[in-house]
Structure formats: structure tokens, C-alpha cells
Chains A and B, each alone.
Chain A
Amino acid sequence: MSISVLEKVGVRYGSQWALSDVSAAFPEGAVGLLGPNGAGKSTMLKALLGLLKPDSGRVTVLDLDVAVSPLEIRARVGYMPENDAQIPGMSAVSFVAYCGELSGLPASDAMQRAHEVLYYVGLGEARYRNVETYSTGMKQRIKLAQALVHDPDLLLLDEPTNGMDPKGRDEMLALIRDIAHNKHISLILSSHVMPDVESVCDAVVVMNRGQVVMQGPIASLKKPAGHIFEVRVKGNREAFVERLRAQAYECRETDADTFRVLMPPGAGADQLFSSAVAVGAQVRHLKPSVPTLEDVFADAVGEA
């Protein structure tokens, strides 16, 4: 079952199409929304919330049409924006309770939920501090808290680990994983950090230049249709890569001297060795590998 469906949706800023004829279905659970900067991820999230009126097409969220029932949808959706966002002059607990009230909770209920979610996101001890004094990591957590306070059925998270240190990032990802898999709140995680998406999500929608270029469960998208090798050579590396590409094998740089070669079914290590011999290079490292989300992403957006 899909929690959100976009049918031929187009959103235009002036003469620029931010979303162009986009059709996508977000299944229940945790779905990653991947794409390079400017791909249209944030625009899509805002279209899902009804903050942007599509120029064409139809958007449904939780079986409700965004054009018809935007308020009902927003009452059941929690949104964590990408950039810093707070209501000035308030302590964390007042801020989150206020957000709960704005979402339609009774005042006493909102205050109780505010305390609960602040503990949940790890800000229990700092809940009486003014939000404006929070560090970047704490601000990310409180943005999650305000999105959760009214217990939404769907969470929209826009770059939730932005600006966080590695420890904070891991904790945030653990929280998001817990929300999706133990608290049974569906979520759409927009990010350009693929390991984040891979560690949390079950499915992805990949966007590029305002269009959906790939979507589906991560496990099935990552199924190899051939072989992947991690290779390091000594000698004429450029000629070796060029020869592989001439044979329609995909080569992707990973670090300074290693690259990944994606070979179609039927091809294998023998072809690698013979190519190396042909250009006078020595294969110093050859390791079979498995596809990562980065491979899927690169395939989808056409990056080598």
C-alpha cells in the first residue's frame, strides 16, 4: 500500500520546472528520497505537504488529495525542514508544546507530548533552555521533536543529519530507524547522503533534474545484473580504464587509486586481466564486490 502517490506532477518556479511530469509511489515504511542538489527533493516534499500548488498532475497523501484536503493532511504529517527553523524566544518544551497545539492537540496533551518527545530525541535535560542557544545538533533534534509531537502517521524529513557530527549523526539515524521500524510511523527521508538513506530506508525514489529516474525497494535495486570488481592497477591506469570503457564496462572511481568496474553477465575477471595485459598494466588488487546504493544512484543519475 502506498502512503503517497504523485501522478504526472509538474511544479514550476517562473519558467523553470522544478518537478516535471513526476510520477512516484511511496510505500509504507521508510523511503529515501535521493538526488543531487537541485534535483527537486525539497520541492517534492513541499508538494506533498500542499505548501506548493502543482501546475499539473495530482498528489495524494494518506489517501487524501492534497489539493482538496491540505489541512487534514498536514494534521497527520510531521515535517522536519532542511534549514534551521524555530520560533524565537521560547524554551524547547514550550516550543514543542506550541507546535503540538498548532497541530490541533489540546494544550495539556500538547505539553505532555512535548516532554515525552523531547526525552525521546535526547533533549530531556535541555528542555527548559531557550532553543536559540542550542547547538546545530540539538537544533536538528528539536526539529525532529516538533515534527513528532502530534504523533503523525507520516514524517517528512529533509536532510535530517545536516551539520551533525558523526556521533550525533549516528544517533539521529538510530532515532529515525526506530521511528520507522518500531514506532510504525512511515517516513520519507530526503537526503543526498547515501549511507544515511541506506542505513534507514527500505525503498528509495531517486530524482534528477526534476524527474524521478528510479524507484523501488533498495534490496531489489541493488541486485547485481553482472559482476562488480574493486580494482587497483600499476602502470597505465588511464589507458586501462579507457579500454574497459571501450568494451562498455562501467568504471567508477572510489578513491585515489582504486576503482570499481561493473561488468555485465557473462563477463568476468578474465576480461579484466586481458585488458590490463593489452595496455601494459598490472592488476595489483582485484576483489569481487557487491553493489551499493551509490552504484544504484550513479546508474540512475548517469554519473560515472
Chain B
Amino acid sequence: MPIHRERYRRREGGIDLRSGAWAVIAANGLRLLVRKRAFLFLMILAWIPVVVRGVQIWAAANVPGMSQIGMLAVAPGMFRDFLNQQEPLIFFITVYVGSGLIADDIRANALQLYLSRPITRTQYVAGKAAILMAALAAVTFVPAMLLLLLVPAFAGSMTFLRDNLVLIPAITAYSVIQITLSAFLILALSSLSKSRWFVAILYAGLAFFTHAVFGVLGAAVEGSSFSWVSIFANVRQVGDVLFRMTPRHDTHPLISAAVIALIIAASAFVLRRRIRAIEVVT
């Protein structure tokens, strides 16, 4: 094969080190993601409840007597319930998108390609996290906010929104907690293995095992004071407080919040230890 000497030319113009490398990583990851049918299927699945809730909001505003039916009435609790309902989809999207985010790079020795460029480890992790966070926001924060905007749009009145302004920070904070916890935990697990399948099993095992332990302990003590051992239960417990509702478990919400913070901090620690351009064998 000939060498195409004429094809290579020295480049004129500078290099921009200020632009976010994390954004380049995130944009590329999302570009690859939306090409996958399984991901699109999950997104469609995740938006079916949004459509159903949209119809509910429309009916409550336009069908006489509908708002009197308790379960169909539009109330602040509806938004919390919606975000709770999305949890299975959050779980599947986290597993599908997140398990390979770092594990695939480790398997393909891509970490050294990233980190031999003007990219810090933090930027790399931020870029990878942004891929999953964007996907999760598309099934939590975005539809929840959309539903909130549909209420005044269908009712033709701002009364509900004005009376429940707290929903905006509540939806935002609850979504942030759901998204950040899922993203950090799966990224940390993904950095521990070369196999996305192993990571997926580990994540699923961790989530369901902790919930099962909570169930067993709950049955033993006939209460829910051990809800802090379950990842899912902690998120719901904090969610109840954010939406100004009575917490469903006996654990103090601050303990649940502390457990969530601890999981995120531990995940960040693992990522810091594991994201290296070289494998140091001593």
C-alpha cells in the first residue's frame, strides 16, 4: 500500500483546551446510544406512562366529574407517584446504558486513549456520567416537568401551579437524587470489571439483595425501621419528604439521605481509584 505523502499536512490553527472534553464524551456517547434499538424501545416504554398521565390531566380538566374521582384527580402526590412508577424503567435504562460505560473502555484498553489526551479523570467520569444522566433525565425530570406544565395548559388556569410551586424544586431534587444515585453506583461498578454483563448482574444483585434484606428484616421486626438497608426504599423515603408527604417507612428521612450520600461518596471514591491510564501491577 503506498504512502499518501501528499495527504498529510501540518495543521494550522490552535487547540482549544477550554471547551469541555466531558461534553465531547457525552455527545458521542448519546450519539451511539440513540442508534440502538433496545434503547429506543426502553425510551418508548418509559414514555407510555407519560402519555397516560397526560390523558389523565386532560380528562381531569375537561371531563366533568373526573376530578372528583380520587385516583384520577390531579394532585401533588400524582407527580411523586409518577416518579415512583418510573423506577423500573430507571433501573433497566441504568443497567442497559450504564453497565458498559466504563467496563467497555477497560475491555478495549480505551482508558489510555482518553487519558493520554488533554482530559482529566474527572472530565472523563463527568462525560460518561452525563450520558446516563441525560438518558435518565429523559424519563424522569423531563416528563415530570412536562406533566406539570400540562396541568395549567389543559385547565386554562395557573391556580394549580401557583398553589403547588413547591413541586418544581421537589421534582427537580427527587429526579436529581434518582439520577445521581443510579449513575454513580453503576459507573463505580462498571469501573470494576471488563464485562458489562457482570456489571449488570452486580448492579441488579445489589439493588434487589438490599431490598430483599429490608423485606426480611421488616417481616422479622414487623415494621420498616430497617428501610435504610434498601437502596430503593431510601430514595422513596427521601422522595416522600421532598413532596411534603408522610414518609412511608419508619426510618428517619435524614438517615435515608445519609445512606444515599454515602453510596454516592463511596462510588466516587471507587471511580477515583479505578480510572487510571495504566494498570499498576505491584
Contact indicator B32/A89 (Cβ below 8 Å): yes
Contact indicator A102/B107 (Cβ below 8 Å): no
* Docked complex: A82-130 residues within 8 A CB-CB of B: 83-90, 98-99, 101-106, 109, 113, 116-117, 119-120, 122, 124
Contact indicator B278/A51 (Cβ below 8 Å): yes
* Docked complex: A148-167 residues within 8 A CB-CB of B: 148, 150-151
Chain A residues whose C-beta falls within 8 Å of the C-beta of B115 in the assembled complex = 51
Known contacts A88-B107, A98-B28, A117-B8; A104 and B16 CB within 8 A of each other: yes
Chain A residues whose C-beta falls within 8 Å of the C-beta of B108 in the assembled complex = 84-88, 132
Stretch at the interface among B17-25, B89-97, B154-162, B250-258: B17-25
Stretch at the interface among A56-64, A71-79, A212-220, A287-295: A71-79
Chain A residues whose C-beta falls within 8 Å of the C-beta of B278 in the assembled complex = 46, 51-52
- B85 contacts the other chain (CB 8 A): no
* Closest chain B residue, CB of each to CB of A175: B3
Chain A residues whose C-beta falls within 8 Å of the C-beta of B114 in the assembled complex = 102
Provide the main secondary structure of the chain B interface. Answer: loop
Looking at the assembled complex, report how far the CB atom of A110 sits from the nearest CB atom of chain B, in whole angstroms: 9
- A183 contacts the other chain (CB 8 A): yes
* Chain B 139-177 per-residue mask, 1 if CB under 8 angstroms from chain A, else 0: 000000000000000000000000000000000000000
* Closest chain A residue, CB of each to CB of B28: A98
Contact indicator B113/A150 (Cβ below 8 Å): no
* Docked complex: B96-120 residues within 8 A CB-CB of A: 100, 104-105, 107-110, 112-120
Contact indicator A119/B7 (Cβ below 8 Å): yes
In angstroms, Cα B104 to Cα A116, docked, is 28
Looking at the assembled complex, report how far the CB atom of B135 sits from the nearest CB atom of chain A, in whole angstroms: 16
Looking at the assembled complex, report how far the CB atom of A148 sits from the nearest CB atom of chain B, in whole angstroms: 7
Contact indicator A87/B277 (Cβ below 8 Å): no
* Closest chain B residue, CB of each to CB of A79: B116
What's the tally of chain A residues with a CB closer than 8 Å to chain B?
53
* Closest chain A residue, CB of each to CB of B107: A88
- B70 contacts the other chain (CB 8 A): no
* CB-contact partner of A81 in B4, B21, B104, B116, under 8 A: B116
Contact indicator A98/B24 (Cβ below 8 Å): yes
* CB-contact partner of B3 in A72, A101, A178, under 8 A: A178
* CB-contact partner of B7 in A81, A103, A120, A179, under 8 A: A120
Across chains A and B, the number of contacting residue pairs, with CB separation under 8 Å, is 126
Chain B residues whose C-beta falls within 8 Å of the C-beta of A85 in the assembled complex = 108-110, 112-113
Contact indicator A146/B32 (Cβ below 8 Å): no
Contact indicator B8/A120 (Cβ below 8 Å): yes
In angstroms, Cα B253 to Cα A16, docked, is 49
Contact indicator A116/B8 (Cβ below 8 Å): yes
* CB-contact partner of A88 in B19, B110, B280, under 8 A: B110
In angstroms, Cα B29 to Cα A88, docked, is 11
In angstroms, Cα B24 to Cα A183, docked, is 29
Contact indicator B25/A102 (Cβ below 8 Å): yes
* Closest chain B residue, CB of each to CB of A97: B28
Chain A residues whose C-beta falls within 8 Å of the C-beta of B105 in the assembled complex = 87-88
* Chain B 220-250 per-residue mask, 1 if CB under 8 angstroms from chain A, else 0: 0000000000000000000000000000000
Known contacts A88-B107, A101-B24, A104-B118; A81 and B112 CB within 8 A of each other: yes
* CB-contact partner of A109 in B5, B13, B28, under 8 A: B13
In angstroms, Cα B16 to Cα A106, docked, is 8
Known contacts A89-B32, A98-B28, A178-B5; A103 and B118 CB within 8 A of each other: yes
Contact indicator B15/A103 (Cβ below 8 Å): yes
Contact indicator A83/B25 (Cβ below 8 Å): no
In angstroms, Cα B9 to Cα A151, docked, is 8
Binding site for B on A (CB under 8 A): 13-16, 46, 49, 51-52, 71-72, 74-77, 79, 81, 83-90, 98-99, 101-106, 109, 113, 116-117, 119-120, 122, 124, 132, 146, 148, 150-151, 171, 174-175, 178-179, 182-184
Binding site for A on B (CB under 8 A): 1-5, 7-11, 13, 15-17, 19, 21, 24-25, 28, 32, 100, 104-105, 107-110, 112-120, 277-278, 280-282
A-B contact pairs, 22 of them (CB 8 A): A13-B280, A13-B282, A15-B282, A16-B282, A51-B115, A51-B277, A51-B278, A71-B118, A75-B117, A79-B116, A81-B113, A88-B104, A102-B25, A104-B15, A104-B118, A109-B11, A116-B8, A124-B4, A146-B113, A148-B8, A150-B11, A150-B15
14 further A-B contacts with Cβ under 8 Å, apart from A102-B117, A120-B7, are A49-B116, A71-B119, A71-B120, A81-B109, A85-B110, A85-B113, A102-B25, A104-B17, A104-B19, A105-B16, A119-B7, A120-B3, A120-B5, A151-B10
